[in-house]
Amino acid sequence: MNRREFLNRMTFGTLISGGALLTAAALKIPVPQTGFAARRYNLGDINKYPLNHFTFLPEKNIYLFRDRKRIKAVSAICTHLGCVLRRSDAGFRCPCHGSKFNDRGAVISGPATRDLDWYRVQQEPDGRIFVIEDQTVAPEDFLEI
């Protein structure tokens, strides 16, 4: 090719690649970087949670169950469309479309089809106890205390 063609091609190529990069960079702008709720929650003094009882933690939408030996944490978000569950006689129920779950988080009825997530409860070396929402565990898993 001659100089003109080469120059044209270079210009064109620069424009295209520059434009592509700009577009890629611009596309990243709306992607949210913050605004995600913290995925670890410090339970504080576990004695303040009543025994043999599902205590609701409204900031995290988690139900915490504690008895003499165990602490377990289950998500309070309905697996159907994300409404916050309430306690009922047999477990949990969702006010939005009537999904029902038992105390193990398994779906009993309703449009929800997935069981509730149980989150890992972990004790740090310094003794503090956290609920880790990033890790889900089986319903039988618990933290021994």
Q: Which residues form the interface with other proteins (CB under 8 A)?
A: 30-32, 34-37, 45, 47-53, 55, 58, 67-68, 80-84, 88-89, 95-98, 106-111, 113-114
Please spell the DSSP secondary structure of 8-64, one letter per residue: HHHHHHHHHHHHHHHHHHHHHTTS-SS-PPPSEEE---GGGSPTTEEEEETTTTEEE
127: left (phi over 0), alpha (psi -120 to 50) or beta: left
Q: How far is the CB of 11 from other proteins (least distance, A)?
A: 28
Spatial separation of the C-alpha atoms in residues 65 and 43, rounded to whole Å? 12
Nearer to other proteins, 35 or 125 (CB): 35
Nearer to other proteins, 11 or 55 (CB): 55
Q: How far is the CB of 18 from other proteins (least distance, A)?
A: 24
Nearer to other proteins, 2 or 36 (CB): 36
